[in-house]
Amino acid sequence: MKKFLVCLFVMVCFVGCNSKNKELEKLQIENEKTKLEIQKLEKERLLQTFKRQYKIAEMDIQSIGWFIESYITDWSKLPDESSLEMMSFNKKIVPFYIKNIPIYDPWGNKYVFQKVPNTKDEYIIYSLGSDGMFKGLDQSTDNEWEIGTDIIWKNGEFTLGLTKLTKEEIEKKQKATTAMEQLAKEFSERQRKK
């Protein structure tokens, strides 16, 4: 009888421990699922923040680019200043062409404005991207949301960044620009003849 009670006790303990182990396993699985869900939400939140920062940088660069294009249209040359900071002090530029010139990108790096050497009105504006390192003007990316992607605006359009134009869009834009320039030239000639 003693052996029977001992066996019964062992079986009850084993079944009890086994059910506790199963409950513990279920809790561990639920805990892992919760951790994965939290990681997924955190990753999504970071991606949204990352996209928002890139969009802000693109809007800043586009604003700077449009102001420079307007300046070139009016003065037939680039601003004399070699940096956006210097331009922000020029009374001909601020607030006439742009209310405030953005100096820093969302990651705390200065936007870079460069005149293309040996040209009259070619220029480049870029952000170093989230990693703060410039990778050159000929860089490309297959993944538009790749961390560290620079944002480059050259002569009136994005050449790298989230809103990079396709070759067809660039050609279409160039044809439209050429047509507009031709119309403006013809109009100027007609005005001179009068």
The pLDDT, as a whole number, for residue 143 is: 53
The pLDDT, as a whole number, for residue 117 is: 82
> Could you give the CA distance from residue 53 to residue 38 in angstroms, rounded to a whole number?
22
The pLDDT, as a whole number, for residue 32 is: 83
Distances (CA, A) of 131 to 127, 151, 153: 10, 12, 18
> Could you give the CA distance from residue 25 to residue 112 in angstroms, rounded to a whole number?
56
The pLDDT, as a whole number, for residue 8 is: 47
Q: What is the pTM of this model?
A: 0.63
Amino acid sitting at position 109: N
Question: What tokens appear for 129 in the block?
Answer: 């991207």
Task: Tell me the pLDDT of the chain (194 aa) as tens digits.
Answer: 666 555 545 555 555 556 667 777 887 888 788 888 888 888 888 888 888 888 899 899 999 998 888 888 888 888 887 788 888 777 778 888 888 889 999 999 999 988 888 887 888 898 988 888 887 776 665 555 567 778 888 888 887 665 554 556 556 655 665 666 676 667 667 777 76
Domain ranges for the chain: 41-163, 165-194
CATH topology of domain 41-163: Glycoprotein, Type 4 Pilin (3.30.700)
- Beta-carbon contacts of residue 102 (< 8 Å; ≥ 6 apart): 60, 63, 64, 84, 111
Block residue for tokens 């109009």: 187
